[in-house]
Amino acid sequence: METQDRRIRRTQNLLAKALIEVTLEKGYDAVTVRDITDRADVGYATFYRHYQDKDALLEDVLEVVLNELIDLFFPDPTGMGDNIENLGNVLFCYVRDNFEIIRVLLSSRYTSEIGKRMLEGGTRKMLERTVPQPESPVPPEIAAKHLVASTINLIEWWLEDGMRLSPEQMGEIYYELIEKPTLNVAFKTWSR
């Protein structure tokens, strides 16, 4: 059973990698299932054993990346201490290490869906892991959405700019421009 599961994961990883490579070359709309299977060196019928179409494969890739980003962006605060300034560095290192897949996801026709799901998931996690400022003029839901949306926009800008600034510089910009002001105005602390 374990061998079969590894083979399935290996095939799915090959297909995901092929989708990303071919999309970067041709654009998502021009990619065919045949392009993906040829690049992955996987049989055409094998593709359809795993996915209904290329959109289903993209959805699978999207799910993995979104979960990883949400986990990075909203780590378990108990292990974080007061070192929230490093969240931006960790986030932008992840983006740098996975820029191809993130670029594909942000440039696909699913961009609005990706943004919506990231906003929903990120807002929910933010509200779960923070304690609102009782006297804040900014409702916590608005602050959480602002933080997530601004982060997505900053990532998009960095990718479009060719990642000229280092992840560490971007982490500092993220912290000073987005995270620190939002947390200071709307939230007391990370919940523990």
Which tokens in the block code for residue 117?
């799901």
Q: What is the pTM assigned to this prediction?
A: 0.76
pLDDT of residue 192: 33
pLDDT in tens, 123-180: 888 888 888 998 999 999 999 999 988 988 999 899 999 999 999 999 999 999 998 9
Domain final position from 51, 76, 91: 51
d(C-alpha 106, C-alpha 45), whole Å: 29
How many domains are there within the chain?
Answer: 2
pLDDT band at 7 (very low <50, low <70, confident <90, very high): confident
Least Cα distance to 60 among 11, 107, 94 occurs for 11
Which tokens in the block code for residue 39?
């690049």
- List b or e across 54-88, with b for residues whose CB sees 16 or more CB atoms inside 10 angstroms: beebbebbbeebbeebbeebbbeeeeeeeebeebb
Evaluate if residue 6 carries a pLDDT over 60: yes
HSE toward the beta carbon, residue 129, CA cutoff 13 A: 20
pLDDT in tens, 90-108: 999 999 998 888 887 777 6
Q: How many CB atoms lie within 10 A of CB 96?
A: 15
Query: Is the domain of 124 the same as that of 74?
Result: yes
Least Cα distance to 177 among 147, 157, 141 occurs for 147
Query: Is the domain of 44 the same as that of 59?
Result: no
pLDDT of residue 137: 94
Averaged pLDDT, 44-70: 86
Q: Are 119 and 148 in contact (CB under 8 A)?
A: yes
DSSP reduced 3-state for 101:
helix
Sign of the C-alpha dihedral computed for residues 115, 116, 121 and 126 taken in this order: positive
> What secondary structure letter does DSSP report for 56?
H
| Dihedral angle, C-alpha 8, 11, 16, 19, nearest 10 ° | -140
Query: Is the domain of 37 the same as that of 64?
Result: no
Query: Is the domain of 106 the same as that of 86?
Result: yes
Q: Where are the beta strands (DSSP E) in the chain?
A: 130-132, 187-190
Query: Is the domain of 32 the same as that of 99?
Result: no
Residue range(s) defining the domain that contains residue 37: 1-51
Query: Is the domain of 59 the same as that of 147?
Result: yes
Query: Is the domain of 107 the same as that of 136?
Result: yes
Query: Is the domain of 99 the same as that of 147?
Result: yes
- What length does the chain have? 192
pLDDT band at 5 (very low <50, low <70, confident <90, very high): confident
Q: What is the CATH number of the domain that holds 58?
A: 1.10.357.10
Query: Is the domain of 34 the same as that of 106?
Result: no
pLDDT of residue 114: 66
Q: Are 94 and 76 in contact (CB under 8 A)?
A: no
